[in-house]
Structure formats: C-alpha cells, structure tokens
C-alpha cells in the first residue's frame, strides 16, 4: 500500500508539471499569435496617442523570471523607451494621416530633465509641421506637466491637480539603526564629495554633499522653471512665487486647485472625459476620430523607414549600473559592452560610434575594461562620440573619458570622479545573540572578508592603499582622455557631481546638445555627414531573451492590460510593474561580500 501511494504521488507530480508547462506554452502561443495576427494600420485621419507607461528609459529591461518557463511568476517592465517615443513623434510630423498628437501622461513615471527636454524637442518638431498637440489628464505630476506644457491645449479635470513642488534631494540615513543592530560598516573613500555610501555611516547629509547638491538643484530647477515659463507664456518668477506661497494663492480661489491652475495659465481648459474627447475629435476633423498608439504606429510605419545606407554611425547604449561579465539590457556588463564594441569595430559599414551613456557607474574594474575596449575601437581609425543622457557619472564618466568628443545635455548629471569601497559585518550583533566566530588560518588574511568577523588589519590597509591607487588611476584616465593635467582634474574631482553646463565650463564635456547633435558630430568626424544612417548595436540575446523582448519589448499600457486579462483567464497573477530586484545599497554590499571591491558609483537621486 505504501509503495502504491508513493508511485501514485510521483506520477501525480509529473502530471502536474506537464499540465503547468502545457498551460504556459498554450498561454505563450496565444499571446504570440495575438501579437503577430494584429498587424496595425495607420488610419487615414487619426490622432497619435503618446501614452508612456512607467519610467522613460534609454533601454528597456527584460521581464524578470528566475526559471522561465517553469516559473510563471514573471512580470513585464513598466517602462517606455525614450528613442521609440521620439521616433514616433518625429515621424508623425510628416505623416499626413496623423492630424493631432495627444499626450496621455497619467501613467508616466518620474523622468529626468534631459529626457523631458529631448521629448520636448521632438514635440516641437511635430508642432512646427502645423499640427495640433493636446495634453489630457485628470492630474499631472511635475514630470508629466513639463511635457503637457508643450501642448497647444492643456486639459485638466475640474477637480484635478498640477502637482508642482520643485526639486529636492532627500535620503534616508541608517547609521543609528545600524548601530542599534550592531552592524559595523567600514568605508574606504577617495573624494570628499563622494557621498554615495554616506547614508550607511551618517545620520544626516554632510556639508560637502549639501554644497554640491545645492549647486546641482539650482541648475536643474532653473531649467525647469525657464522651460515651463517659455512654453506657457508666464514668468518664471511668478511660478516660483506660487510654489513658495501656495496657500496664499489657493486661498484666492477658495481652495479650488483647478480654478487656480487655469487662472494662472498653467492649463487651458477644465473638462471631463467627454469634453476632452470632443476637443480631440474637433482637432482631427472627424466626429468619431480614429487613434493609434505609438507602439502600433512604429510597427505600422516600419516599412516606410528609409533603407540602411552603406555608411553608418553605430549606436551602443550603456544604461544602468556597470558590473562585470555579461548582463541583460538594463545593466552595463563589461563583457557585453566589449562584445558590442568589437562587433562595431569589425563592421566595415560602421564608420563612427556614438556611445549613449545613462549610468551611475559601478565596478571600477568593469569600467576600466570597457574604457580599454573603447580605446581599442578608436585604434581602428573610427571616432567615438559620447552622448550623455540623464546621468553619466563616476564609472559612467570613466568609460566616457577617452571619447573623441563628449556631448551632454545642460541638465545631465556627470563627474563624480572618485571611488569607494564598503564592508559590513555583524559580529557584534551575533555576539549579543550568543553566536561567536573563531578559528585559525595559514596567513594573516586567510579569514578573508566575512560578515561575521571584523576585517583583518592587513586587509584594512590593503583596501586603503588600493582605494588611493584607484583614485589616482581615475584622475589619470580623465587627464589622458581630456588632455588635462592631473592637478587640474584633481581640483574638480573629489567625487563632486556637476551638471552638463558646469561640466562643459570645466572641460569635462566638449559640447552641450542632444543625442541627435552627438550623432551628427560623429558623422562629421568620420567625414560621412552627407550620407549615412544609424545602426543600433544591441547585445546578442538567447532564445529566452528574444521571446521576452518580442512579448514585452513593445508592451505599452494597453498591451500589459491585454496580457493580464489573458493571464487571469488561466488563473495567473501578473504584477502590473517590475520592481528592482535589488536596491542600490544592497547591490553594492552583495557585490562586496567575500571580496574587496572598489566602486566608482554615483547615487544622486533628484526628486522631480
């Protein structure tokens, strides 16, 4: 009898696995079929709907899945690709079928100034064609409102809010909490402004960090105010006064937010859903207007793009933390970047390269490996131009340093030339619980770096010496790449961050301009400015990654909803957005576990 039930349960387990995998494959086939069977077409008179969902990024991350296809608990990233949005908007400017651009921004997450300004420039191209731009939303966050302000008509719900508040940098500081937990954090740092790890060793922001952040915020907020003022035809000083004394202004309108925003010129019309739909229909010129989302629009117009030319400017995106090895999109892996640089170098059609960097840095070793690969690419006689996105600091600047030219947006965050290492152990906390660590080894450092023991004295000295060496190396890398003396670099280093405006003034950046300007500069350096096309160079992906990108790479809000509906039919729970698997501090501590690691990482997060 025991053997009977054992055999029965074993076969039931196998049957369960077959059913689970079969259901998943059925679900996968249904969704793939839905994607490929629905070939979008552009209506003859239509509104192009720009409805980004989540963060706007340089490169879409893959959905997370630890064991696809056996594990069904995966989720699609809640992101929108910046370059896809720009391509859709600019292509629609010359498309007679698109009569109006509609900005539905309520699902868009917080977005940096350089990305907002790049989208603003694309919208300006659309408006220059003589077509109408309409912004709609029940409410607008600060990032959402920046884009909305560019519209010819900004609609707001009669009970809606424009949530302007200014920019800020606030962090949580954990020293007191770690002390209570008896966690000892040992920090090695080169650069008095290198504040990325300060929250682990302080309870407040250091004076040096405050000074650097104040300068940074002043530039970013001034750019936001001036841009919005210009787009809405109001004075920047008046906008500042409204946010410094919001209660005084709101009292004038008896607490009616929407009335205040309309009277002050921030929005044009207060209207509900039906009123907004009527306005869009009028702009399209049709009572029941047709519309198309930007992902469908890109798919429908892909065949209309001009063919690739014999001479090309290659584009490689370095987006995310810099780490060793091969990494998926959303991370900058040293091996992945080297492989792409080699492909571009060996491609005879690629005459120049634009390295688009949107990275806070990470591993010093990985950054140096990528930098050497950039120099190897240049040795082939092809120029490299760096285009900085929102953040190209610390290790992000390390890999940018050797470029023939560096371009940044005025509001790019860059610099942070410094280094740090951090180790944590919980020896004292364990001892409070009655857990002790003891043993012996063959050398003074044989115990290595352990979470349950203090670092050996010799290793402490080793880390200090290695930190100084890495910092000197960073200074040399910048000096060699930028044609500056080490002394000159040292004066603007110390881990301090700079905006693009200041970086150009200091010589860290050659020019201020957009991604498009950087591409044009690369073509000019290669003497192909009159006849070239772009070649986006992507990481080589396996079957799993290709399937996931096909499924989710173009997933907008509506696609995610359709997927959730299909998944629900099979009883699967599919989260609406992708959360980061590991927060930055946990990532750094995890990478440091068991071995001394030196990081060139910048953690400047502006709340905007």
Cα–Cα dist 493/474, whole Å: 9
Helix (H) or strand (E) holding 497: strand 497-499
Instruction: Label residue 299 exposed, middle or buried (CB < 10 Å: 0-12, 13-18, 19+).
Output: middle
Q: What are phi and psi of 76, to 5 degrees?
A: -90, 140
- Does residue 194 have an active-site annotation? yes
Please tell me which residue in 194, 225, 262, 351 is annotated as part of the active site: 194
N- to C-terminal Cα separation, the chain: 67
Q: Say if residues 480 and 402 touch (Cβ distance below 8 Å).
A: yes
The tokens describing 346, both together, are 């060996």
Cα–Cα dist 351/382, whole Å: 6
Cα–Cα dist 496/171, whole Å: 17
Of 222, 114, 209, 220, residue with least CA distance to 171: 209
Write down the residue that tokens 């470029």 correspond to: 403
Please tell me which residue in 387, 394, 416, 560 is annotated as part of the active site: 394
Cα distances (Å, whole numbers) of residue 206 to 173, 416, 421, 467, 509: 11, 16, 18, 21, 27
Write down the residue that tokens 């992708």 correspond to: 578
| 481, 487, 492, 493: CA torsion to nearest 10 | 70
Beta-bridge partners for 551: none
The separation between CA 70 and the C-alpha centre of its own chain, rounded to angstroms, equals 30
Enzyme catalytic residues? 194, 394
């Amino acid at each position: 009898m025991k053997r009977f039930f054992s055999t029965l349960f074993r076969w039931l387990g196998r049957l369960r696995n077959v059913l689970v995998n079969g259901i998943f494959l059925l679900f996968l086939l249904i969704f793939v079929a839905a994607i490929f069977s629905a070939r979008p077409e552009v209506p003859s008179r239509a509104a192009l709907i720009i409805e980004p969902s989540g963060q706007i990024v340089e490169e879409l991350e893959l959905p997370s899945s630890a064991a696809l296809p056996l594990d069904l608990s995966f989720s699609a990233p809640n992101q929108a690709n910046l370059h896809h949005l720009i391509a859709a908007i600019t292509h629609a400017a010359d498309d007679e079928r698109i009569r109006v651009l509609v900005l539905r921004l309520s699902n868009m997450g917080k977005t940096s100034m350089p990305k907002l300004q790049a989208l603003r420039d694309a919208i300006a191209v659309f408006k220059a064609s003589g077509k109408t731009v309409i912004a709609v939303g029940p409410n607008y966050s600060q990032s959402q409102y920046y884009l909305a302000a560019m519209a010819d008509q900004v609609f707001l719900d009669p009970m809606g809010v424009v949530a302007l508040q200014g920019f800020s940098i606030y962090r949580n500081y954990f020293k007191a909490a770690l002390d209570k937990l008896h966690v000892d954090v040992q920090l090695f740092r080169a650069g008095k402004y290198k504040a990325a790890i300060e929250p682990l060793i302080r309870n407040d922001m250091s004076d040096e960090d405050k000074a650097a952040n104040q300068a940074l915020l002043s530039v970013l907020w001034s750019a936001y105010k001036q841009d919005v003022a210009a787009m809405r035809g109001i004075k920047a000083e008046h906008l500042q006064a409204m946010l410094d004394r919001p209660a005084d202004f709101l009292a004038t309108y008896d607490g009616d937010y929407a009335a205040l925003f309309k009277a002050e010129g921030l929005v044009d019309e207060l209207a509900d859903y039906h009123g907004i739909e009527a306005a869009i229909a009028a702009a399209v010129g049709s009572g029941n207007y047709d519309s198309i989302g930007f992902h469908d629009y890109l798919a429908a117009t892909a065949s209309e793009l001009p063919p690739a030319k014999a001479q090309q400017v290659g584009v490689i995106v370095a987006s995310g933390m810099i780490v060793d090895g091969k990494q998926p999109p959303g991370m900058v892996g040293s091996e992945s970047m080297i492989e792409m640089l080699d492909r571009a170098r060996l491609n005879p059609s690629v005459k120049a390269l634009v390295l688009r960097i949107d990275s806070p840095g990470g591993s010093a070793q990985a950054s140096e490996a990528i930098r050497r690969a950039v120099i190897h690419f240049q040795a082939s006689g092809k120029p490299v131009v760096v285009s900085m996105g929102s953040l190209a600091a610390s290790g992000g600047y390390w890999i940018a340093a050797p470029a023939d030219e560096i371009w940044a947006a005025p509001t790019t965050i860059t610099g942070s030339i410094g280094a740090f290492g951090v180790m944590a152990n919980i020896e004292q906390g364990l001892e409070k619980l009655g857990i002790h660590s003891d043993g012996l080894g063959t050398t003074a450092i044989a115990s290595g770096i352990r979470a349950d023991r203090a670092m050996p004295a010799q290793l402490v000295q080793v880390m200090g010496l290695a930190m100084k060496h890495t910092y000197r190396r960073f200074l040399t890398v910048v000096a060699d790449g930028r044609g500056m003396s080490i002394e000159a670099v040292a004066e603007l280093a110390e881990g301090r961050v700079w905006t693009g405006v200041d970086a150009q003034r200091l010589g860290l950046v050659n020019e201020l301009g957009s991604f498009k300007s950087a591409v044009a500069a690369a073509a000019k350096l290669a003497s192909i400015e009159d006849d070239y096309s772009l070649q986006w160079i992507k990481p080589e992906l396996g079957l799993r990654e290709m399937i996931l990108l096909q499924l989710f790479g173009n997933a907008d809000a509506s696609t995610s909803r359709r997927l959730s509906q299909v998944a629900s039919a099979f009883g699967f729970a599919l989260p609406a957005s992708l959360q980061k698997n590991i927060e930055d501090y946990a990532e750094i501590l995890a990478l440091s576990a068991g071995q001394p690691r030196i990081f060139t990482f910048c953690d400047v997060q502006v709340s905007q």
